[in-house]
């Protein structure tokens, strides 16, 4: 147990990372206790279903029990898996699509006469998308309203996906939610396909 704590010990029975709340099942049994991200003392990482925690029980809205002063217990998880191991380190393989796309743009400019403003658009949107990811992570840690996932995905589709891929790795954000990752890369591929059609089939970007 964490030093100096005599609170209730339990594990996260469920956690909604997008909305920033979940429920803790006390080890001693009984009713699950609601917990909000703002109730965690340490916010250096996101909670995950299965995390073992120690917490205090206080009265929340309407007098319902609510967890407060929540701490992770020795970084122990009841359900270890690849998601946790991948969260804390940079995965160079995930940056390979960005490097390949940058090389494609360089060739498109040098060989096929694609105008300079095309990579400029990607650069600008990538910076904006990176900022959106950073803001979403900050809001998540603060327990405030998040940037909608749809906004992040649309920014990626609108030429900002390279910045999104960089943010996922360097900020360790949105890089372990499989449904988000699947949608992100499908939209990124769609963006690249549309660009290739404009360059090679219609000639509009030459």
pLDDT tens across 161-193, in order? 999 999 999 998 888 888 899 999 999 999 999
C-alpha to C-alpha distance for 173 and 159, rounded to whole angstroms: 19
Question: What's the pLDDT at 85?
Answer: 44
**Ranges of each domain in the chain:** 8-80, 88-202
Three-class SS string for 19-82? CCEEEEEECCCCCCEEEEHHHECCCCCCCCCCEEEEEEEEECHHHCEEEEEEEEEEEEECCCCH
Low-confidence residues of the chain: pLDDT under 50? 1-4, 76-87
Whether domain 8-80 has CATH 3.20.20.70: no
- Residue 74's pLDDT is 61
């Amino acid at each position: 147990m964490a030093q100096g704590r005599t609170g209730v010990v339990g594990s996260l029975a469920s956690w909604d990372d997008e909305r920033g709340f979940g429920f803790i099942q006390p080890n001693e049994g009984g009713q699950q206790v609601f917990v909000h991200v703002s109730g965690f003392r340490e916010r250096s990482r996101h909670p995950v279903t299965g995390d073992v925690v120690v917490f205090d029980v206080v009265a929340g809205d309407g007098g319902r029990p609510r967890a407060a002063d929540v701490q992770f217990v020795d970084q122990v998880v009841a359900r270890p898996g690849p998601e946790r191991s991948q969260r804390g380190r940079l995965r160079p393989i995930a940056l390979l699509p960005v490097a390949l796309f940058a090389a494609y743009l360089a060739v498109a400019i040098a060989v096929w006469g694609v105008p300079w403003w095309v990579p400029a658009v990607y650069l600008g949107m990538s910076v904006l998308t990176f900022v959106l990811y950073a803001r979403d992570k900050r809001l998540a840690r603060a327990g405030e309203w998040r940037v909608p996932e749809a906004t992040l995905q649309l920014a990626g589709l609108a030429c900002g996906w390279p910045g999104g891929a960089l943010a996922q790795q360097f900020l360790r954000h949105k890089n372990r939610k499989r449904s988000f990752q699947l949608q992100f890369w499908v939209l990124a591929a769609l963006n690249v396909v549309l660009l290739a059609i404009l360059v090679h089939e219609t000639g509009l970007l030459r």
